Amino acid sequence: MSTMTMMMAAKATSFQQFNLKASTFRSRTSKSYNPTVRMQTRIHRLIEDQGIVLMPGCYDSLSAAIVQQSGFSAGFISGYALSASLLGKPDFGLLTPPEMAATARTVCAAAPMIPIIADADTGGGNALNVQRTIKDLIAAGAAGCFLEDQAWPKKCGHMRGKQLSFLIPEEHAAKIASARNAIGDSDFFLVARTDARATSAKTGADACFVEAPRNDDELKEIGRHTKGYRVCNMIEGGVTPLHTPEELKAMGFHLIVHPLTALYASARALVDVLKTLKENGTTRDHLQKMATFEEFNQLVKLESWFELEARYSNLKSAVGIKSR
């Protein structure tokens, strides 16, 4: 049977036939098969405290700082958004794990008060590559990652033409097991993502993420046929209907990701204001479309740096006086 035929058949299959074996996910109350794994990560605690966690996407240090300052309790680095902002290219398998890890380091430093989950795509290769990818993300300060089952080169789950690795499910299972081993007792939340619509879940993940359900019935089926924590992706213009966190909580979800909201808003604002500048040669009649000089300085906490400068300048002066 051809890959396309299998994909079409899987699409037509109801979620009752998905064979999403809930028992293979780590539940909220079960002990890990690895006694060194610490179950209560920051993400676990957030879910237990809040019931449902809304995570907007960020793609650089400034967007991460704004997410934190806006009062969100967690954030997500989208591979789609990072491919666009770092490379100026679509989510077409062009972004590499070291580029994600490098961004995670600066993003986590810019938003140190909230946990940040990173998009690990397919892990950068086989199960051995996954070990390095996970360890690099942990070293960068990330609080977790998504690890998916697409065949390479992967694509955004809402795009056409993605190749699903339900033809080789053992490979994804091996990657999840490898990732769990690399995590050890680190504070790191592992999400097993599947883009296949007829697949088995993988042992060792903290949560499951079935990408791109196309209607509310499919969303509810995911809630009924998987156990443990569930992730839902809300992409403006994507194939999944948009819902509030409370609506998704009622369907059985725990982590709600808005991976592209900030990216799309930023892109729209840039297109509009640069069009204005090109047409008019000035922005003086359109300043309401931008942050003011003072507003932006507040975003980057400029005054705190002036205070630090003054403190150490005074210390330098005091030391200079004593040394005379």
What pLDDT digit, counting tens, does each position of 151-163 carry?
555 544 544 454 5
Phi, then psi, of 163 in degrees rounded to 5:
-105, 120
- Global pTM? 0.82
104/117 Cα distance (integer angstroms)? 9
Strand 229-233 versus strand 207-210 pairing type: parallel
Using CA atoms, how far residue 6 sits from 9, 13, 74, 139, 264, in Å, is: 5, 11, 37, 39, 33
| H-run or E-run covering 11 | helix 3-12
228/24 Cα distance (integer angstroms)? 10
Per-residue pLDDT of the chain (324 residues), as tens digits, is 444 343 334 444 444 434 444 433 444 433 333 434 446 899 999 999 999 999 999 999 999 999 999 999 999 999 999 999 999 999 888 999 999 999 999 999 999 999 999 999 989 989 999 999 999 999 999 999 999 877 555 544 544 454 554 446 778 888 999 999 999 999 999 999 886 554 444 568 999 999 889 999 999 999 998 878 999 999 999 999 999 999 999 999 999 999 999 999 999 999 999 999 999 999 999 999 999 999 999 999 999 999 999 999 887 666 665 655
116/141 Cα distance (integer angstroms)? 8
| Contact in structure between 15 and 225 (CB atoms under 8 Å) | yes
| Contact in structure between 56 and 67 (CB atoms under 8 Å) | yes
